[in-house]
Amino acid sequence: MAATAMVSGACSVRRVDRSSIPAAAAAPSLSSSSSSSSSWRLLGRSNLHVAAARRRLACRASAAPSPSVLHSSEAKCSENAWSLIWSPQSSSQILGGDGHGEPDYGPRVVKMKSGNKYRSCSRLLPLSARQSVPGIWAPGATFEFRQSTKTGLKDFLHISDFDKDTIMKILHHAAEVKALLKSGDRSFQPFKGKTMSMIFTKPSMRTRVSFETGFSLLGGHAIYLGPDDIQMGKREETRDVARVLSRYNDIIMARVFAHQDILDLAKYASVPVVNGLTDYNHPCQIMADALTIIEHIGKLEGLKIVYVGDGNNIVHSWLLLASIIPLHFVCACPEGFEPDKDTVERARSTGVSKIEIIHDPAVAVKGADVVYSDVWASMGQKEEAAYRKEKFQGFQINEALMELAGPKAYFMHCLPAERGVEVTDGVIEAPNSIVFPQAENRMHAQNAIMLHLFGL
């Protein structure tokens, strides 16, 4: 007769009583309305904040279940608990969870329950978990644990897929992990033993290096797949690519041209898919932007963000963010280069933010907290470069335009920049330019996004 046992907080859970952490050691709040710029700047340097971040991250890493268990597109639980049924594995040798390649005939998950639904899966239970709770591994034994963070959605495709609280929690987590990495501490290894495939049909230095470095610093291994390695929709159907890579990897990141490609990847992949950029939107960039703004201004909510240039994927992502976090977002662009009308109307219809699409940059930038720019001709539009350069005359961000914005306005650019075209050299090199902290924060924001998708 099968033995049954219910165990809370398995996988060697070590819960930390947050009330025991001294107030002085706690990381500053990321409340979009109450955070101070000084506290955010302190976060990167203070040993107290680093120590507090280290304790919280260690708690998350130990308390959360193995993310691979949750790799189901249907894994959207309404309560913060999962029940698993295990069966013994004895037909073949399996590498043990101790990382030394020892033979292991341990139990595997055969069913996963969320609420009243069971889903089949086949994952090896971590060795440390079996050692911590002996005597319950009879066939059919039931095992329960609780997540420290609900994963919610499987993928990160659009910022607006998530609510305000979730976005702010991810940003808070990004700040914690950044503080730890900046301190030189490399003990936090939540991605150890995990692999990520990085699909690039659209090349990028920042996207590749930030994802690959970030995943490596947290213990994982990233695999680059360039245009010569993978041709989705041409040499192989996207749905086949998604299914194959899901069997090799724990997560997939893709930077592609067509937005439908990322949607198809997510539909058919059984592991999380991260949107590294499409022609429609660029959510990882906007998360990095939000983190950078909070670090320098102290808040995000209520700010006036002015984008000057082409109504492209960056603008769409800001509009999607403005649909969940209150902002005053202005896009100043030439006529005929406005952002997607449906996306504009969607952002306006929520009533969350004030949205303006205008054609005079001098009017747009007045009172701006942030002035933002991007190239006038994106990748795949270079044949239009001369035409666009003519149409965008008067939309260059230069010293005169920044003076109209005011002395407190910051300049941002997602890079690469064509200096002397959409922005002058002087603006990029000015003290109020934060383009390089912005570029660095791609890595930290993306790390936090992946931690969230893994449920860590």
Tell me if 448 sits within 8 A of 162, measured CB to CB.
no
| pLDDT on residue 384 | 86
Q: Output the CA–CA distances (angstroms, integers) from residue 187 to 94, 182, 358, in the order listed.
A: 27, 12, 49
The first and second tokens of residue 240, run together, are 């086949």
The torsion of the CA quartet 405, 411, 412, 417, rounded to 10 degrees, works out to 110
| Region of residue 442 (phi > 0: left; psi between -120 and 50: alpha; otherwise: beta) | alpha
d(CA 426, CA 73): 48
Q: Output the CA–CA distances (angstroms, integers) from residue 296 to 279, 300, 317, 396, 402, in the order listed.
A: 29, 10, 21, 24, 17
Q: What's the CATH superfamily of 283-440?
A: Aspartate/ornithine carbamoyltransferase (3.40.50.1370)
Helix extents (H) in 183-312:
205-217, 238-248, 259-268, 283-297
User: Residue ranges of the domains in the chain?
Assistant: 283-440
| pLDDT on residue 233 | 74
Tell me if 67 sits within 8 A of 219, measured CB to CB.
no
Which mean pLDDT values do the consecutive 10-residue runs of the chain (456 residues) have? 35 35 38 40 46 64 44 33 38 32 36 39 38 39 34 85 97 97 96 98 96 99 94 87 98 97 97 98 99 98 98 98 99 98 98 98 98 88 84 97 97 97 98 98 99 96
d(CA 94, CA 80): 30
Q: Mark 229-259 as b/e (b = at least 16 C-beta within 10 Å).
A: ebebeeeeebeebbeebbeebbbbbbbbebb
Q: Longest C-alpha distance within the chain, in Å?
A: 81
Residue 342: CB atoms within 10 A of its CB come to: 9
Active site residues: 414
pTM of the model: 0.72
Residue 153: CB atoms within 10 A of its CB come to: 18
**CB proximity list for 277: less than 8 A, separation 6 or greater:** 202, 204, 207, 255, 256, 284, 285, 313
The first and second tokens of residue 207, run together, are 């996207």
Residue 131: CB atoms within 10 A of its CB come to: 11
**CB proximity list for 365: less than 8 A, separation 6 or greater:** 306, 308, 332, 371, 401, 402, 404, 405, 409
Single-letter residue type at 409: A
Triad 198, 201, 206: Cα angle to 5°: 60
What DSSP state is assigned to residue 110? Answer: E
The first and second tokens of residue 397, run together, are 């961000």
d(CA 39, CA 347): 31
| pLDDT on residue 51 | 64
The first and second tokens of residue 340, run together, are 């997607």
